[in-house]
Amino acid sequence: MTHFGALASPALLAFSTVPIAHLTILDMIVIAVYFGMVIWIGFYLKGRSNTSEEFFMAGREMTAWIAGLSFVSANLGSLELMGWAGAAYQYGILATHWYWIGAIPAMIFLGLVMMPFYYVSKTHSVPGYLHLRFGEHARILAAISFATEMILMSGVNMFAMAVVMKVVLGWSLTFSILISAAAVAIYVTLGGLRSAIFNEVMQFVLIWGGALLVPILGLIQAGGWDGLKKQIIKNMGTDSYFHIWRDTGHFSANPMGVHWTGIVLGLGFVISFGYWTTDFLVVQRVLAAHNLRAARMAPIIASYFKMAVPFIVILPGLLGLVLLQNPDHSRMLLVGQDVVKSCTTDESASQMNTAECSAAMDSQSTLPADYKQKVLTGSQELHSYNDALPLMMVRYMGPGLLGLGITALIAGFMSGMAGNVSAFSTVWTYDIYKPLIKKNGSDSHYVSVGRWSIFIGVLVSIGAGYLVQHAHGIMDYVQALFSFFIAPLLAAILMGMFWKRATAPAGFLGLLIGIVSSVGMFVWVKMNPAGLATIALSPDAKPMAENLYRAWWAFCIAAIVIFLVSLVTKPKPVAELDGLCYSCTVLPKEEPVPFYKNVWLWALLAVCIFAALNIIFW
Amino acid sequence: MHGSGIQIWFFIGVLLLIYGVLILGYGIFEAVVGPLAPVELNYLHTPIWWGGLLTVAGLLYCIKFRPGRA
């Protein structure tokens, strides 16, 4: 999840120069087969994407399984995989919070409580729901901010993929950008959302098929879970790598510098609920379900897979702590990307700046003196935390299997891009073009606008990708964009759905002031890092804590504004809130199903497993 | 997905089948001529059992979700 803050930073990754892996002909064939398959799917689906309902909503005919896998897959990009594997190497299983409390309660809430409103209102998008509930201004504000985010994120994804391919395989940036952009443009322009969903489901299978071997083989080599624990405790001198809650009683007691209140309120409530229940990129996948029951079941199914993802993401990071070795068989120590940057000779420099490198390594307390000396003399290469997953892949995967692992990473990036541009296309067509530019066009006209917007969106994304390449700092700001919008959006949607007194001016103002306050806090901390202690309520807080508390405060500010403004403005008549507000809507009765198909049963089981995991790894 | 036409599961089956055959084939070749790549745990012959698993899964999906099947 991009706004969660532990992404691999492609801008810094670009400073590594020696490729991690070398592909064989067999690996190339595996990658080529994937590209052939996605193009085939695009051409096949072209004939089934002729109406706007087919093109933008995939005909609303996805089963719960397809919608659920697509829903969870839209958030399983390669930057996330690499970033969280690196975070696990640094922080241990604390990183699992972003997969469990940072996702599961929100997914279950979406399925049980919120999905009926989205589905019954027959909206095409989340801004579309805001239009029905709070009027045109709220819709336009949400639509423009979301469309901008999507196109920039698509560019970031494109550039990120190119950089990872350069680091891992040594491919040129331009080659990777052009080939991935062309493939995405072809298959999404032809098949619309259906094509994006098909590829997301395929990506999900590829990621498990390509990455599952790493933890399996790693555990065999480490002597199982007990063996891994023993070795990490021996190497690191602490067992805190295996606890997700025990050390969160104080900011300074855990390496992330977070407090459990921030995890529960900021991550578990605002960020998680904001992302999983109001971000149209993921909600669009569930809206494509073929009936209400499937739409409710999809996030519940997704929650089971989400709980399992740490097995292929967090575990490889932990295994890397004890298994990764240098060519001389000494233990490999990964470092931050900034240290790699300082100690690597990039294309523009003739030799490494040893003073800068030495200073950077000194800031890394985990590096022994002899290790630093080897780096300075050039006999030891440094890799960053974010290389943990690719390094583990190279360790165990020979020809063919490595191609499969690399294909999984490529698929992750490409489906991320496809998700961005398909969501952009829908919001652009329905929430910007239709209300502001041409209100009464024909259905085929809007499909045509949707296809062109994908094509143009990909072109703009390429431009954004190159912009990021030449101005590395922009990456941080683009990734922060998500956090500016989701907290106020969550406040607006929750209050709109569950408080019939909430008014249109209140919704718009709450959204606007929430966004402005979030941006304000971000800029304040950027200009004055001491502000972090105020926002996170502790001088021991680290940047991760700022993300969590900033989201919480932005949510509170937006909710208070909506509450106060609603009290002094005129609410909509109750009759106009049917299908939009909880207390004013009679939800359609679902047909009776056998107990094993009951949504509540599977949700309850998911809650039990979620609780058990938190207790086991307390 | 409902309706007629090729289902996503069939596409996935085809992909897994192709990958399975390629990886299994390489694994058998490597078992005959000896390890060709310097990877850890070579003695487990991972490409054989993982490739075999992908092949079987792909085959099952191709058969179960083949186009035209009611």
Mind listing the pLDDT tens digit for each residue in A238-285? 888 888 899 888 887 777 778 898 889 888 898 899 888 888 888 888
Write down the pLDDT at residue B34: 85
What phi and psi values does residue A187 have, to the nearest 5 degrees? -75, -30
Compute the distance between CA of residue B61 and CA of residue B8 in angstroms, rounded to an integer: 10
Report helix, strand or coil for A325: strand
What phi and psi values does residue A22 have, to the nearest 5 degrees? -125, 125
Contact B39 A201 (CB under 8 A): no
Q: How far is CA A519 from the centre of its chain?
A: 20
Of B6, B27, B42, the CB nearest to A44: B6
Contact A29 B22 (CB under 8 A): yes
Write down the pLDDT at residue A147: 87
* Least confident piece of the model among A327-336, A443-452, A551-560: A327-336
pLDDT in tens, A502-522: 999 999 999 999 999 998 998
Of A29, A202, A221, the CB nearest to B12: A202
Q: Which residue has the tokens 């399996």?
A: A216
Contact B19 A61 (CB under 8 A): no
DSSP state string for A48-88: T--SHHHHHHGGG-B-HHHHHHHHHHTT--HHHHHHHHHHH
| A213-222 vs B46-64: helix crossing angle, rounded to 10 | 150
Distance between start and end Cα atoms, chain B? 13
The answer to whether the Cα torsion of A259, A265, A269, A275 is positive or negative is: negative
Residue B1 has pLDDT above 60, yes or no: no
CA distances from residue B17 to A40, A66, B21 in whole angstroms, order as listed: 16, 20, 6
What phi and psi values does residue A335 have, to the nearest 5 degrees? -135, 175
Write down the pLDDT at residue A292: 87
Contact A400 B44 (CB under 8 A): no
Compute the distance between CA of residue A602 and CA of residue A615 in angstroms, rounded to an integer: 20
Compute the distance between CA of residue A236 and CA of residue B8 in angstroms, rounded to an integer: 46
Compute the distance between CA of residue A96 and CA of residue A244 in angstroms, rounded to an integer: 7
Contact B39 A396 (CB under 8 A): yes
Work out the minimum CA distance from B68 to partner chain A, whole angstroms. 15
Range picked from A127-136, A386-395, A396-405, A523-532 for highest mean pLDDT: A396-405
The answer to whether the Cα torsion of A442, A444, A447, A453 is positive or negative is: negative
Q: Which residues pair with A289 in a beta bridge?
A: A62
Q: Which residue has the tokens 């909880």?
A: A582
Nearest residue in B to A289, CA atom: B1
Chain A residue numbers touching B12 (CB-CB < 8 A): 201-202, 205
Q: Are A169 and A387 in contact (CB under 8 A)?
A: no
What phi and psi values does residue A334 have, to the nearest 5 degrees? -85, 155
Q: What is the mean pLDDT of residues A355-381?
A: 79
Chain A residue numbers touching B15 (CB-CB < 8 A): 33-34, 37, 202, 205-206
Contact A396 B1 (CB under 8 A): no
**Homologous superfamily, domain A2-324+390-476+597-616:** Sodium/glucose cotransporter (1.20.1730.10)
Range picked from A50-59, A173-182, A363-372, A426-435 for highest mean pLDDT: A426-435
Q: Is residue A92 left, alpha or beta, with left meaning phi > 0 and alpha meaning psi from -120 to 50?
A: left
Nearest residue in A to B35, CA atom: A398
What mean pLDDT, rounded, does chain A reach? Answer: 85
Q: Are A170 and A470 in contact (CB under 8 A)?
A: no
pLDDT in tens, A128-178: 888 888 888 888 888 888 888 888 888 877 877 787 787 777 888 788 888
pTM, rounded to two decimals: 0.87
Contact A401 B23 (CB under 8 A): yes
B61 pLDDT tier (thresholds 50, 70, 90): very high
Amino acid letter at A435?
P
| B8-33 vs B46-64: helix crossing angle, rounded to 10 | 150
How many CA within 13 A on the CB side of residue A609? 17
Q: Give residue limits of the domains in chain A.
A: 2-324+390-476+597-616, 339-380
> Cβ contacts of residue A152 below 8 Å, gap of 6+?
A464, A478, A481
Nearest residue in B to A206, CA atom: B16
Does ipTM come in above 0.90?
yes
Work out the minimum CA distance from A195 to partner chain B, whole angstroms. 10
CB-CB neighbours of A473 under 10 Å: 8
Residue A194 has pLDDT above 90, yes or no: no
